Amino acid sequence: MNIPLWDFIQPSHYVFPQLHVKIGLINNVLDTFCDFLEEQVEVANPKERFCRNNMIMCDVATIKAKENLEQ
């Protein structure tokens, strides 16, 4: 059946979220570009990658801990 869920909303009243789609596309392109740079240009050994990822996780944990202390 093709009965709409809400018959009071007409399809002509729908606004496509262009900004959100564009931001998402750009984020994907930047992530892919950064991954390419890490793998092909700035070749880091697995130990360096592990340390870099741990540093990022520690920074995030520190920020969250500070926010919890403020609350």
Task: Give the pLDDT confidence score for residue 35 in this predicted structure.
Answer: 86
Lowest mean pLDDT across 3-7, 26-30, 66-70: 3-7
The answer to whether position 47 is within a domain reads: yes
**Number of structural domains, the chain?**
1
Decide if pLDDT at 7 tops 80: no
Decide if pLDDT at 24 tops 70: yes
pTM score of the predicted model: 0.46
The answer to whether position 21 is within a domain reads: yes
Which range marks the domain in which residue 23 is found? 17-70
Question: What confidence tier does 58 reach under pLDDT thresholds 50, 70, 90?
Answer: very high
Which of 64, 39, 61 shows the shortest CA–CA distance to 49?
Answer: 39
CB distance 44 to 52 below 8 Å: yes
The answer to whether position 7 is within a domain reads: no
